[in-house]
Amino acid sequence: MKTLCDCGHLTQEIEKGACTTGYGIDSQGKKICYACCAEQDKAAMRTGNRITLYLNPVNRNVTNWPGSLRIVGEYVREGKHNFAGKRYDVWFTVEGSRWHGVRYGDFTELCHCRKLKA
């Protein structure tokens, strides 16, 4: 069932039994459709220097929580980490800006990303 989000768009169609709502909630508590979630994340990357995304090192995809923002990393390097066991570094470009992200271990996909200096 689709409902209207606070952004004015309809929520994503949900399959029966799926573990999702079809929308995200922003910092003001408003319901935002997945497409607008991607736009908000891009805007945050334009104005800010850091963002937390998700990294799948196998296919080099860097995504936001619902997966509506998808960036293919240019290079992923696997290294060692003293606590997590593994460390994954990814480099990618968004709207002409170079970014670097780090994911620690295989028990999470959280990728801590920062904009690189020009």
Which long-range contacts link 57-61 to residues 24+ away (Cβ below 8 Å)? Answer: 57/88, 57/90, 57/103, 60/90
Range of the domain at 87: 48-115
**Measured distance CA(9)–CA(34) in Å, rounded:** 9
Tens digit of pLDDT for each residue in 25-83?
888 988 888 888 999 999 999 999 999 999 999 999 999 988 999 999 999 999 998 88
Give the angle 72-73-76 at the CA atoms, nearest 5°. 140
On the question of pLDDT at 14 being above 70, the answer is: no
| Domain count along the chain | 1
For residue 18, is pLDDT > 70? no
Backbone phi and psi for residue 44, each to the nearest 5 degrees, phi listed first? -65, -35
Within a domain: 102: yes
In a domain, residue 14? The reply is no
Residue 52, beta-bridge partner list:
112
